[in-house]
Amino acid sequence: MKQLSHVDSYGNACMVDVTDKPATSRMATAQGYVRMQPETLRMIHSGEHPKGDVLAVARLAGIQAAKQTHSLIPLCHPLMLSSVQLNISSCGDRSVRIDATCRVTGSTGVEMEALTAVAVAALALYDMCKAVDRSMLIDNIRLLEKIGGASGHFVAK
């Protein structure tokens, strides 16, 4: 049975020691959705939103969040990310899809950075639009793909 990596032999939470792990190329992609009223999405795309470019703010928030993941999640290692890419696109007339891909050459993965980027981009979008649509729903945040490290390649089904 696999052991939890962030728990020591006494059951205490601890940071994983990556001192002896080799630095390898690693990548992770995460995805999430923000569901909203059609009028809210129309306002975002038409540029009529009173707060400005909602998608640009959400994209920047996601990038910033990926770079600060170690400050937000207690046992994450600080990483020198080599790339953070966010793509925000409409899905029909009621949803926005957020995809984040993070890359690093290092001794630990970037899954948490990609997931954090998606979550914070979604929260920023919500914050920008809550005055016109408090019924928005953030959902289905998940890891889509991970490459690199000892556990190898993962692709969500």
Q: What is the pLDDT of residues 61-104, one digit of tens each?
A: 999 999 999 999 988 999 999 999 999 999 999 999 999 999 99
**Confidence band for 3, pLDDT divided at 50, 70 and 90:** low
Report the C-alpha gap between 127 and 116 in whole angstroms. Answer: 16
At residue 2, the pLDDT reads 60
User: Catalytic: 99?
Assistant: no
81 and 63 Cβ atoms separated by less than 8 Å: no
pTM: 0.91
Q: What is the pLDDT of residues 21-35, one digit of tens each?
A: 888 999 999 999 999
Q: What is the pLDDT of residue 55?
A: 96
Identify the band that residue 109 occupies on the pLDDT scale cut at 50, 70 and 90: confident
- Please give the pLDDT value at position 104: 97
- Catalytic residue, from 53, 99, 127, 133: name it: 127
Nearest to residue 6, comparing CAs of 82, 58, 76?
A: 76
Domain ranges of the chain: 24-146
| Predicted local distance difference test score (pLDDT) of residue 32 | 98
CATH of region 24-146: 3.30.70.640
pLDDT of residue 1 exceeding 60, the answer is no
Name the E strands within 36-153. Answer: 83-91, 95-106, 137-147
pLDDT of residue 6: 67
